Amino acid sequence: MSAKITTIDLKDTAVQRKKMKARAQERPIPAGDTILLLPHCLRVSSTCRAAAGEDGLVCVECNPACQVNLLRKAALEAGFSGVCVAPGGSLALKYVKKTRPLAIVAVACEKELNEGVANVSELFGSGNQAPDITIIPLVREGCIDTRVDIKKAVAEILSKENREEKRYCGAGLKTGSTRR
């Protein structure tokens, strides 16, 4: 069975919410089997004190307004098994290989998302069950101080309703912090 890939349409989240619920009913995936992948460029570069770790940058919550900090906290509170703040696609792929999630929620620029989906599909091959992937594109790209629309995209995935159902049709490549 091939993985389901969902792209969050930032222009029409009501439609996306219905699609996500329909997919979750098709193949419910517990939050504990889901990882979140974040790009390192999403952090606030001028104040970030994250240290490099084996699984990516380890957020130390130095800036309460930082999108990495906010998204990481939301994912862990929702019960995701881990969060990866990856400086590049190869580390993110290594983390996916290491953790073998059932679902991934990935936030990145279009180029990295396309490459990541292709690499995950190749990693799992045709004989194995690839994880479901939800991709959330950045609203401001670049390689430093990028932005994602948390209210319209990630909040939909990590909403209270989804946490209560423990169903996620999403994905991201994971590194960095994990919930223990």
CATH code of the domain in which 140 resides: 3.40.50
Q: Kindly tell me if the per-residue pLDDT of 7 is higher than 60.
A: yes
Domain-located, residue 18? yes
> Does residue 175 lie in a domain region?
no
Q: Which of 49-53, 67-71, 157-161 has the lowest mean pLDDT?
A: 157-161
Domain count, the chain: 1
- Which 8-state DSSP code applies to residue 140? B
Taking only the tens place, the pLDDT of each residue in 88-144 is 889 999 999 999 999 999 999 988 988 998 899 888 876 668 898 888 889 988 889
Can you give the pTM of this predicted structure? 0.76
Query: How confident is the model at residue 170, as a pLDDT?
Result: 36
Q: Does any domain span residue 170?
A: no
Q: Give the residue numbers spanning the domain of 33.
A: 5-165
Residue 73 lies inside a defined structural domain of this protein: yes
Residue 178 lies in a domain: no
Cα distances (Å, whole numbers) of residue 151 to 10, 23, 57, 155, 167: 10, 21, 24, 5, 19
pLDDT at 47: 93
